[in-house]
Amino acid sequence: MQGKLKVKLERVAHVRSGDKGNTSNIAVIAYHDEFYPLLKEQLTAARFKAFYRDAIKGEVTRHAADNLAALNFVAEGALGGGVSRSLSLDNYGKALSAAILGFEVEVPEQYGNLLRGA
Amino acid sequence: MQGGADIVVTGRVADPSLFLAPMMHEFGWRADDFAKLGAGSGLGHLLECGAQVTGGYFADPGFKDVPNPWDLAFPIAEVESDGSAVIAKVVGTGGAINAMTVKEQMLYEVHDPANYITPDVVVDFTTAAIEEAGPDRMRVSAISGKPRTPTLKVSMGCMEGFIGEDMFFYAGPGALRRAKLAKQILEERFRIVNLKADDLRIDFLGLNAIHGEATPSDAPEPYEVAVRVAARCKTREEAMKVGREIDGMAVSGVAMTGKRVPHQDRTREIIGVWSTLVPREQVPHAISWYES
């Protein structure tokens, strides 16, 4: 039986967020193709939404871009009512993607040498 | 552009249109060749945020390192007539172009990557191929397109009232417990002065002012905390109550409260944006010439 490593998402994928009105999109991109199926299985839209708790008020939709080894999460109601009227300090939600880097992912030990960072 | 225009006046376009237009001009792409328009708009999307594809908004030390990030280059797209391109930058400049920077920008501000809607075409990024073509050179090909939608997006500015905003500070051992009492005092004060706010936030900058409710419950206690207060109100007079109550925190609040000298920009009027779709035929184009 192959062992599993529990690591933060930051060692497995990189992220970027963008804004449209009151909706934020957070792209989660695997550092290696080997990691992508793990993300697809473990980082579901429901878990993503639960991880952000009430910081995302509306629905979360997950779009898969297999060719980019990337998942794009579209989070409605994540920007405090919209960029220009929001009381958020980070009006555009450009730092919002960073939170998901703390999501815990299980990685087979054989991929341990592919992990980024310490 | 064929007539040698100095200035081009457009109808409803989006950011990538500014890059698509010269490609259409140079290669003779037709306005209904949606495969080509999709490829060109997709490349335009990679370029439209400048250095966001050459290492800007990207560096994360130890994870994603960027050489000389203080000297970033604007991107260059060496476009072929089939709609593929090499994304490059001037040799010797700072920044980086690699599969990661290209993928991040490809998905930036995108919802469904198979259906990225622009006024010109619906772009499909899920067919794209990205490969290295040399140091800081990435070949991007096979972005595709689908017919444009029958609607255009219109964004309207709406008067949304006034935001009153200010912050004050705690530091050293116990900073957070003093900040929490300050928050409680302010909440009671706002009740006493009958603050009528459509939205109110009192956050601890350094702990939860950026990620809000997504902040982990076991986040470490910071050494310094700013209490950041913001309220959106219907009138300027209401929004000014925020600054007035925070002024009182210096003399009537919690021990060891740090504060800025009151400044003038604590209350500001805000214009919100409301967007919807309208049928294209409701947006006619016409140019009138006036000479004197």
Query: Would the CB atoms of B111 and A29 count as touching at under 8 Å?
Result: no
Q: What's the confidence (pLDDT) of residue B24?
A: 97
Alpha carbons B181 and A113: distance in angstroms, whole number: 47
**Nearest Cβ partner for B273 among A21, A88, A94:** A21
A-facing residues of B in 127-156 (CB < 8 A) are 127-130
Q: What's the confidence (pLDDT) of residue A86?
A: 87
pLDDT at A1 over 80: no
Percent of chain B past pLDDT 70, that is, above it, reads 100
| B188 vs A91 pLDDT, higher one | B188
pLDDT at B21 over 80: yes
Count of A-B CB contacts under 8 Å: 132
Which residues in chain B are closer than 8 Å to A114, comparing Cβ atoms?
Answer: none
- From the list B233, B190, B184, the residue with the least C-alpha distance to B204 is B184
- B210 Cβ under 8 Å from any chain A Cβ: yes
Q: What's the confidence (pLDDT) of residue A84?
A: 77
User: What is the mean pLDDT of the segment spanning B201-229?
Assistant: 96
User: What is the mean pLDDT of the segment spanning B194-215?
Assistant: 96
User: What is the mean pLDDT of the segment spanning B286-290?
Assistant: 90
- B181 Cβ under 8 Å from any chain A Cβ: no
A-facing residues of B in 78-107 (CB < 8 A) are 100, 103-107
Cβ contacts of A13 within 8 Å, gap of 6 or more = A28, A29, A30, A31, A35, A39
Q: What's the confidence (pLDDT) of residue B164?
A: 96
Question: Among positive and negative, which fits the CA dihedral B132, B138, B141, B144?
Answer: positive
Lowest mean pLDDT among A101-105, A111-115, B72-76, B285-289: B285-289
- B231 Cβ under 8 Å from any chain A Cβ: yes
- B61 Cβ under 8 Å from any chain A Cβ: no
Which residues in chain B are closer than 8 Å to A67, comparing Cβ atoms?
Answer: 125-129
**Chain A nearest-CA residue for B129:** A67
The distance of A13 to chain B (nearest Cα, Å) reads: 10
- pLDDT one-digit tens code per residue, B156-175: 999 999 999 999 999 999 99
Alpha carbons A47 and B14: distance in angstroms, whole number: 34
Query: Would the CB atoms of B62 and A94 count as touching at under 8 Å?
Result: no
**Chain B nearest-CA residue for A57:** B213
Query: Is-contact A7 A115, C-beta < 8 A?
Result: yes
Q: Which domains does chain A have, with CATH numbers?
A: 4-105 (3.30.70)
To probe the interface with B, which of A8, A54, A87, A94 has the most B CB atoms within 10 Å? A87
User: What is the mean pLDDT of the segment spanning B256-272?
Assistant: 88
| A21 vs B30 pLDDT, higher one | B30
Query: Is-contact B142 B129, C-beta < 8 A?
Result: yes
Query: Would the CB atoms of B100 and A29 count as touching at under 8 Å?
Result: yes
pTM of the entire predicted model: 0.94
**Chain B nearest-CA residue for A16:** B104
Tell me, what's the ipTM?
A: 0.95
Alpha carbons B58 and A11: distance in angstroms, whole number: 15
pLDDT at A116 over 90: yes
Q: What's the confidence (pLDDT) of residue B2?
A: 86
- From the list A45, A55, A53, the residue with the least C-alpha distance to A93 is A55
**Chain A nearest-CA residue for B102:** A68
To probe the interface with A, which of B210, B228, B268, B275 has the most A CB atoms within 10 Å? B210
- pLDDT one-digit tens code per residue, A57-113: 999 999 999 999 999 999 999 988 877 788 988 988 999 999 999 999 999 999 999
Q: What's the confidence (pLDDT) of residue B206?
A: 96
Which residues in chain A are closer than 8 Å to B270, comparing Cβ atoms?
Answer: 84-85
pLDDT band at B35 (very low <50, low <70, confident <90, very high): very high
- B271 Cβ under 8 Å from any chain A Cβ: yes
Query: Is-contact B35 B144, C-beta < 8 A?
Result: yes
Q: What is the mean pLDDT of chain B?
A: 96
Query: Is-contact B207 B219, C-beta < 8 A?
Result: yes
